[in-house]
Amino acid sequence: MGIILLVLLLALILGGLGFAVHILWWIALIVLVIWLIGFVVRAGDGGSRSRWYRWLPARPGGAANPAGPR
């Protein structure tokens, strides 16, 4: 009887884990689509405000310095 309960408990845990992983994959896919849409919208904005990431400061000339600060 104990082995049957253990197997049922293991099946319940693994089934719940599989469901959670499945849901997490869908959430990750939705977040990826939203990120890609935001990336395309930001790139189409144009001008000096258009940079890949918000935390990179804009330079006064409008162009990024690939060599870093001097």
Give per-residue pLDDT as tens, 20-70.
888 999 999 999 999 888 878 876 666 555 555 566 566 665 555 555 555
Per domain, the residue ranges of the chain are 1-43
State how far Cα 49 lies from the chain centre: 23
Classify each residue of 41-69 as buried b or exposed e, where b means 16 or more C-beta atoms within 10 Å of its C-beta: eeeeeeeeeebeeeeeeeeeeeeeeeeee
Retrieve residue 68's tokens: 């870093």
Among 8, 31, 70, CA closest to 39: 31
Q: Is-above-0.85 flag for pTM?
A: no
